[in-house]
Structures are given as structure tokens and as C-alpha cells.
Amino acid sequence: MQELSVRHLLGIKDITPQDIQLIFETADNFKDVLNRPIKKVPSLRDITIANVFFENSTRTRLSFELAEKRLSADVINFSSSGSSVKKGETLLDTVNNILAMKVDMIVMRHSSPGAAHFLSKHIPANIVNAGDGTHEHPTQALLDSFSIRERLGEVAGKKVVIIGDILHSRVALSNIFALQKQGAEVMVCGPITLLPKYIKELGVQVETNVRKALEWCDVANVLRIQLERQQMKYFPSLREYTLYYGIDKKMLDSLNKEIVLMHPGPINRGVELSSDAADSHHSIILNQVENGVAIRMAVLYLLAQKG
């Protein structure tokens, strides 16, 4: 049986193209399961998983919980709000107390970049990074590439532009690593103030004109402006951002080509995407969400084999 090269999923940077293929092939099988009347398999019947969330989430948290339940794992959920973190308990003490209850795997979202790597050096359980600050969001990038593969047949050779707040985006970084490992061409597009200084060193093309970026690409992955992570003003106003970087259906239709529109969510409707674009035939946004469950089932299942 094939297995992953890692026993934690901390970031796409740490995994191989073969790992990505194995996750996709496993997710294909789980997607078949999810389309059956009985959407459940006993694969992780003896495994207990804790979803430990120190940051807000809708999609990732529910998707992991559903993936775990579809695999018949026992599941517990922890949110830092309302917990003893508010009384000063450390991250390591919190997780060690959860593990003392005989938990086998930790799925963690945290606002600090590197939090999942830190945990992996101090605890024995498998860890899945569900987003660590501005660093990585590996399962999001996997479900994004899986959705491109589903829509376009393959990822290799495709031109993908990631548009928006690249500076604060863990989704952008994980997508760049994932797409390049699969042989896609990657461009980033946004106001110069929202593009990291090191970005060209990652081997991506850089464009500040959104129209030119859309003309170039097969796939546009549009990101949210992360106001909660911004320490200063990076553009004059949201209205001005929308004027220069907002995407609407008229713009997409005027390209006169097939273009795949993606967004990791949550969408700020009327800011980076108009409703008529987000809900158009170009959009695969809800397919991304659907595929997230199969991808997370695959990741959890494969990591459980590594013990």
C-alpha cells in the first residue's frame, strides 16, 4: 500500500508531488462514498480526533468534523473562546490536556504562523494544520487543486492567477506550493502594497493589472481582503479596491473565453467579487467546499496509516 512521506500535514511545502497524487486518488474514492446513500465508512472507527480552533472558521471546521464523522472517528471540538486559554493556559498545556483524554490526532487552526510546526516537535499525535496565521492552509490548497483537476482534467500546464491580499494569505502560499508541485504556471495579482517583497523568489509571475491577469489565466482564485490581519492601511478605501481589483460577471464574460472562478471563502460580496460573478457559471466556489470533505477524509485516513 502506498503511504504519505510525512506523519503530519503541516504545510504543502513539506510534502511531495507523489503525496499530492496519493491524496487526490484517495479523495476520488471518498468522493464516491460521499455520493452514495450511506455516506459513511468504518476506516477510522478506533481513532479519536480533536479539532482545536484558536481562530474563527466555518468551512474548514465543519468540513473536518464531517470528514471525521464520515470516517467513523470519534470527534471532540475545542474553541479557544470560552476555554481556559482565557485564564492563561498555554497552547502546549491545552493540547497535552486534550491528548491525556486518549486523543490520537489534532486538527489545529491558530493565528500564529508556525504554531502547527511547534506542536509537532512537542507532542506524539498526528497534526493537521487547518491554517496557521499568514503561513499555510494546506487542506485548502489541496481542495483547490483537486477542484481544478475535476473541472479542467488536470492541473499540470494550467495558468492560475491568485488575486487579492497575497501579503496576508496562507491560502496564497499553500496554493503557490501546491500548483507548482503539480506543474501549473502561477501568477499573483494585487495592489503592490499587498504583494510580499519576496514573492518573485517563489517563481511566480507578478501582475498589478487585474484585466491583464484575467486575460492570461485559465483559473482565477480570488482572495478576501483580510482586514483583521492588516496592521496599517494598504489601500485608500474598500471602494477604491473594488474599483481597481473587484471582479464582476460583465468583466468575466467580456474575456470571451472559459475561465474558472474560485474563492476559498468567506467572500466579501461587493468587494473582491460581485454577487453575479460569485454565483455565475464560471464559479466553482461551492464545488470547492464540497470537495473539501473528500480531501480532508483522504488526509486524515492517510495520516492515520502513518500512526
Asked if 13 touches ligand CP (CB under 6 A), the answer is no
Map residues 59-98 to x or -, x wherever contact with ligand CP holds by CB under 6 A: xxx-------------------------------------
Q: Which is nearer to ligand CP, 24 or 53 (CB)?
A: 53
How deeply is 169 buried, as exposed, middle or buried, from its count of CB atoms within 10 A (0-12, 13-18, 19+)? buried
**227: amino acid identity, one letter:** L
Shortest reach from residue 45's CB to ligand CP, in Å: 26
Helices 138-152 and 17-34 sit at what angle, rounded to 10 degrees?
70
Shortest reach from residue 286's CB to ligand CP, in Å: 12
What is the rounded CA–CA span in Å between residue 67 and residue 122? 26
Q: Which is nearer to ligand CP, 57 or 280 (CB)?
A: 57
| Ranges assigned E (strand) in 121-249 | 126-132, 159-163, 185-189, 205-207, 219-222
Residue (of 262, 256, 258, 292) closest to 277 by Cα position:
262
Shortest reach from residue 174's CB to ligand CP, in Å: 11
Angle at alpha carbon of residue 56, lines to 219 and 290, rounded to 5°: 40
What is the rounded CA–CA span in Å between residue 208 and residue 245? 9
What is the rounded CA–CA span in Å between residue 184 and residue 200? 16
Size of the site for ligand CP (CB under 6 A): 11
Q: Which is nearer to ligand CP, 63 or 274 (CB)?
A: 63
Helices 170-181 and 138-152 sit at what angle, rounded to 10 degrees?
50
Q: Which cell numbers in the block locate residue 284?
A: 466553482
Shortest reach from residue 200's CB to ligand CP, in Å: 26
Q: Which is nearer to ligand CP, 43 or 175 (CB)?
A: 175
Residue choice 162, 264, 278, 282 for contact with ligand CP (CB under 6 A):
264
Asked if 58 touches ligand CP (CB under 6 A), the answer is yes
- Which residues ranging from 102 to 141 are in contact with ligand CP (CB under 6 A)? 131, 137, 140
Find the part of the chain contacting ligand CP (CB under 6 A) among 58-66, 180-188, 244-252, 279-287: 58-66
| CA 38 to chain CA centroid, nearest Å | 27
Residue (of 296, 303, 306) closest to 109 by Cα position:
296
- Which residues ranging from 169 to 228 are in contact with ligand CP (CB under 6 A)? none
Residue choice 13, 28, 57, 99 for contact with ligand CP (CB under 6 A):
57
At 140, phi and psi to the nearest 5? -65, -45
What kind and span of H or E run contains 288? helix 285-306
Asked if 274 touches ligand CP (CB under 6 A), the answer is no
Find the part of the chain contacting ligand CP (CB under 6 A) among 57-65, 194-202, 208-216, 279-287: 57-65
Residue choice 114, 196, 265, 270 for contact with ligand CP (CB under 6 A):
265
- Binding residues for ligand CP (CB under 6 A): 57-61, 131, 137, 140, 264-266
